[in-house]
Amino acid sequence: MSSSSASSQLKQLKPLYQHVVNNFVAVLAAPLVVAAIVNAARVGPEELLARVQALRTAHVFLAAFVPVAAATLYLMLRPRPVYLVDYACFRTQPNCRVPFSTFLEHAKVVTFVEGASIDERSVRFMTRLLERSGLGEETCLPPAHHYIPPYRNMEASRAEVELVVFSAIDDLLAKTKVSPQDIDILIVNCSLFAPVPSFTDMIIHKYKMRKDIRHVHLSGMGCSAGLISVGLARNFLQVAPRGARALVVSTETITPNYYVGKERAMLLPNCLFRMGGAAALLSTSRAGARFRLARVVRTLTGAQDSAYRCVFQEEDAEGHRGINLSKDLMTIAGDALKANITAIGPLVLPASEQLLFAVSFIARRVLSNRRVKPYLPDFRTAFEHFCIHAGGRAVIDELQRSLGPFPSLLLLPSLLVHINTATGGDNARTGDDDSGAQPKLYNNVMYDYDDLKEGRIGQGSGRLPYFDGQFYDHWKCKIMMYLESMCRNAVAASAIISALSSIEYDKVAEIKNTNQLWRKLKVIYKGIDSIKDARLRELQNKFNLFIMGPGEGPKEVHDRLVRIVNQRRALGAKMTDLDINKKLLQALRTWDSNICSTIREKDNFKSFTIDEVLGKLLSQKQQNDQANKINALIKQIEVTSGDKNDIALNAT
């Protein structure tokens, strides 16, 4: 018999093995019960009644009392179950969305801001990082980061807190129809921003909560803050009166932590962290609950030097403050997640998996039989989904390697990291997952509650690029980025269909293959080559006749030109940066011909990108305006001084 056929037979027998071992008590009790029934039938009713009457009263009492007493004692001493009633994610407005192009454009312009040390080399590094991060084009940054330079003051940070936290709480209270006065416990976590008054004070003041509410604000706990918040809420609820409610709010304020230096390890958070937050309502009442909190297992690795320094807030050599992410972070995160899964495995895995692991361990360690492969437990028997800390594509890849043959368990966080990232709660992000994989009530879902805050308990407006029949080329670029990480045809086809409106779906409803779907949409909206050529000629005319419009500034002209260029490139046209830059400066001559000529005459003008040209235009304009103001002030002083001298001469 070949090894492959033997392995196939073992796989067929495994379900039977699992059924027997996982129901060992029932399997063992069934023959005993059958034997007792058969024996009683043989004895006869009269003899059976005589044996019962022969029993002593004390024995009968103990036989009835001991099980009842044990069950009562167990029910009294067992911890109260804690339930997740509902949650609400913060959903940003469209004006907070930051596509890659916008983020990189702002980063390039910041290089010209006084006091910033970020340079072109750092911008190129962030460009490569964004391309590999797994983030999508729908991630969001707080309004303060949309300014040039970004606002990083206390007022802007408080504004982000109020926007994220209050919006999430408002949505949660509306969904659960719970009054703020009915909340008994309030726990908030935010690692990088700890103002006075605290977050809990801000919430209590905003919603006029009770005076006797128990409230805690956790700060500086990093990615473990969400786990600690949930564990703390559970502990409070288990000693509070039955039916008590706990509000857990999780967020990360990134406004004050935008880094403008050149250290690569400190530039990572600029690219990876996004705004987000969520609010979750926990209770010891099962009524209306969506999930039950089974266990909270926290793995602490802070005693190790490498783990302690892997995420470190500090200042660089030039005094710029930021978050330093160690190059060993992915390895440390993967090891911590593996340790956490190892710790929680015995608590959740069925007996069949634990027995196989024990046999494998004994064979390898005790019997020193190295030919026996270490058994990797099948976590699909315990969980239907892993919703881990989606801090980046690399974290998920690290755990994916650890899970070995079960990578499909990580589909949900893979989609979530594409949608948004910060430092929040994955458990609430399932509500924003458009893949159709949202866990139902009491499904077995392993949440990494380290994430109950960032863009992880509440990510922004991260949805599939929606196609309504217009701007096919624009939608094509966005959906292609979304599909890059999806390798299975069914998943990719489902993503495309989910991104279509009802009218557009009717046109391709009979097609299930991804390639056929793609070709059908291409034929409908991109057309044959003649239509494509006509569109290219139209765009070429727009480019040739491009001028500055009334009321426009350099930024508006730049954006309009970039749209035309991107549309031409999407249709296959090739355009050099030099031609685009010349067209931009030509259109802006009516705005300021001197500045345009100065930039055009620079020695390295041919190597500029259009974004760099825009940054130099704005920077030169700012310098000219400042010089004009100084000259005007000097002239005013001279005129004033001359008037005083005239008065003095007249007096003499």
Has residue 148 been placed in a domain? no
Q: What is the pTM of this model?
A: 0.60
Has residue 369 been placed in a domain? yes
Query: 151-189, pLDDT tens digit by residue?
Result: 888 999 999 999 999 999 999 999 999 999 999 999 999
Structure tokens at 624: 């000219």
- Of the residues 488, 506, 527, the one at which a domain ends: 527
- 428 in the same domain as 357: yes
Residue type, 232: L
Structure tokens at 98: 């930051």
- 447 in the same domain as 336: yes
How far is the C-alpha of 334 from the C-alpha of 397, rounded, in Å? Answer: 9
- Of the residues 451, 485, 501, the one at which a domain ends: 451
Structure tokens at 516: 């056929």
Has residue 425 been placed in a domain? yes
- 576 in the same domain as 520: no
**What is the model's pLDDT at position 437?**
37
Which residue range forms the structural domain that includes residue 426? 332-451
Has residue 282 been placed in a domain? no
Has residue 559 been placed in a domain? yes
Indicate if the alpha-carbon torsion angle 218, 219, 220, 226 is positive or negative: positive
- 600 in the same domain as 559: yes
Beta bridge partners of 312: 324
- 411 in the same domain as 357: yes
- 429 in the same domain as 338: yes
Has residue 615 been placed in a domain? yes
- 445 in the same domain as 364: yes
Has residue 305 been placed in a domain? no
Instruction: Please give the tally of structural domains in the chain.
Output: 3
Has residue 155 been placed in a domain? no
Regions in the chain scoring below 50 on pLDDT: 1, 405-443, 445-462, 485-487, 644, 646-652
- 521 in the same domain as 410: no
- 549 in the same domain as 503: no
- 446 in the same domain as 344: yes
**What is the model's pLDDT at position 457?**
31
Q: Exposed (0-12), middle (13-18) or buried (19+): which is 366, by Cβ within 10 Å?
A: exposed
For residue 67, CA distances in Å to 24, 77, 503 come to 21, 15, 64
- 342 in the same domain as 446: yes
- 444 in the same domain as 393: yes
Q: What share of the chain is helix, strand, coil (3-state, %, to 5)?
A: 60, 10, 30
Burial 284-310 (b: 16+ CB within 10 A, else e): bbeeebbbebbebbebebeeeeebeeb
How far is the C-alpha of 206 from the C-alpha of 162, rounded, in Å? Answer: 10
Residue 234 exposure: Cα atoms within 13 Å on the Cβ side: 19
Query: 553-598, pLDDT tens digit by residue?
Result: 888 888 888 888 888 887 778 888 888 888 888 888 888 888 888 8
Task: Please say whether the beta carbons of 248 and 86 come within 8 A.
Answer: no
Beta bridge partners of 311: 325
Task: Please say whether the beta carbons of 456 and 164 come within 8 A.
Answer: no
- Identify the residue whose tokens are 């002239």: 635
